Structure 1
Amino acid sequence: MRVEIWSEIACPWCGLGSHRLDRAVERFEHGAEVEVIHRSFPLSDGFTVGSTISVREVLLRRYGLAGARLEASTRQIEAMAEQEGLSPYRVLDHQVGNTRLAHEFLAHASAEGKNRVAWNAIFRAYFGQARPVFDLDDLLGLADEIGLEREKTRRVLTEGRFGRQVQDDMETAQRLGATGTPYIVVDGRYALPGAQDTDTLLGILRQVWDETHPTVLVADNDAAICGQDGCAVPADHVAHA
């Protein structure tokens, strides 16, 4: 079973949604047979490349949130994350910027076989440690942490090798109906917008599994059957031969 999740790095619901999906897969009876793939959905093109701004300032400019209202709206997300085992989870007290380069880093890491490792690392760095993840040096530090070759990563990002792939990921999500993040598609059958709770995700995994894997009914453990090693003759047939 394949589960794809489209995310924006600096979206607090995406970090929480990714965590919930991991928990659902851990609880799923067939979790070992689930392939989780993270994909990019950058939403930060309104930010200038090479500079950052505080999350507080962004929320004030865009939504007019400040003071007690700002604290209440963001601390609620942090509290939800803490209840689900993500602590610390810092939504308010850090910087935000253009994430295109970070998404290219994640695409490179995925090509190197580190899709989930890289996404987990970048969410942990940004929301868990309030570290910036926007410029080349930030990302090279992450490359060191997850075992990517530093100089190769530098060349890949400097040359923009994965820019087209990041855009393709986003356009694919939009064709599938996504208008924001996170956006989850389970086995190409069900699309789930938003940070669904763990129980909902677990229920969907079970539903899709049941729809795609027939239940084997065993009426007779000694039934005649042919396999790779030949055809077995039931014991009662031998006895009456």
Structure 2
Amino acid sequence: MKVEIWSDVVCPWCYIGKRRFESALREFEHADDVEVEWKSFQLDPTTVSVTQRAAGPSDAHARALAAKFGRSVEEVRQMIAHVDETAAAEGLEFHQDVSVPANTVKAHQLLHLAGERGVQDAVKERLLRAHFTEGEPLGDDETLVRLVAEAGLDAEEARAVLAEDRYLAQVRADVAEAAALGARGVPFFVVDRRYGISGAQPAEQFLQVLQRAWTESRPLTLVGQATDDACGPDGCAI
């Protein structure tokens, strides 16, 4: 079974959704047969990256969101607090007051490299934690190289990928595919190309879909002959 997940590394609900999906996967009896692929999605491709850490906690993130969505700063503060509380319930520690803006196109290119090297989930986790917990500037090349190296990628190869924009076409293809599948936001989960799940749904919902998709994709195996001790349109075997 394959699960494809479109998400962005600066999307708080994507991190929460990742944890909830992982909780469901731990309860799924066929978890060892599930392949997970992380797909690229950019919440805002026009974001201009800040390449240095924030000097300390500030309202900059709240003010930027307030300006973008036409809300008051106080409303946005309350929204951020709600997200942080939800994250904490999933065992995550968010410090969005130290998060810095980042254009994530380069981070997604490194996630494609990580997929080819078999460490995609580790790299995804490292980048999410770096942004939401540690306030690392994901728009800075050298920061990205250091982080992905910590998660198992070769630093020099990662640096070359960024210099060449090696996976830019793949990132754009992922974004276009999400639109074609009807994704209006992220996280967006596609299970065996049978079911689409939008948003950071509860773990129970993920588990139900995994179980349903597994059952539907595995036909019954016939044991014995169709005529053995059975009745059919022409009568019963004797």
TM-score range, shorter chain: 0.7 to 0.9
Q: Counterparts of 1:136 and 1:162 in 2: how far apart (Å)? A: 15
1:92: Cα distance to partner? 4.1
Q: Does 1:59 align with 2:36?
A: no
Distance 1:143 1:129, change over 3 A: same
Task: Report sequence identity in percent.
Answer: 34
TM superposition score normalised by structure 2: 0.84
Match of 1:70 in 2: 76
**How far apart are 1:91 and its partner, in Å?**
3.3
1:187 aligned residue (170, 192, 196) = 192
CA deviation digits over 1:180-202, x for unaligned, max 9? 21111000001111111111111
Shift of 1:143: 2.4
Q: CA deviation at 1:64?
A: 3.4
| 3-state SS of 2:96 partner | coil
Who is 2:236 aligned against? none
Q: Deviations over 1:20-63 (max 9, x none)?
A: 11111111111111111111011222212566894223212112
**Letter of the aligned partner of 2:91 in structure 1?**
G
Task: Tell me how far apart the structure 1 counterparts of residues 152 and 28 of structure 2 sit (CA, whole Å).
Answer: 29
Tell me the equivalent position of 1:39. 39
1:12 paired residue number? 12
Partner amino acid, structure 2, of 1:14: C
After TM superposition, the structure 1 stretch with the greater mean CA deviation from structure 2, 124-133 or 180-189, is: 124-133
Gapped runs of 5+ residues in structure 2? 55-59, 226-238
Aligned to 1:25: 25
Task: Extract unaligned runs of 5+ from structure 1.
Answer: 225-241
**Following TM superposition, by how much is the alpha carbon of 1:17 offset from its aligned partner in structure 2, in angstroms?**
0.8
Whether 1:128 and 2:125 are equivalent positions in the alignment is: no
Q: Distance in 2 between matches of 1:137 and 1:147?
A: 15
Deviation at 1:126, TM superposition (A): 1.2
The alignment's TM-score, normalised by the length of structure 1, stands at: 0.83
Contact kept in structure 2, 1:56 and 1:93, CA below 8 Å: no
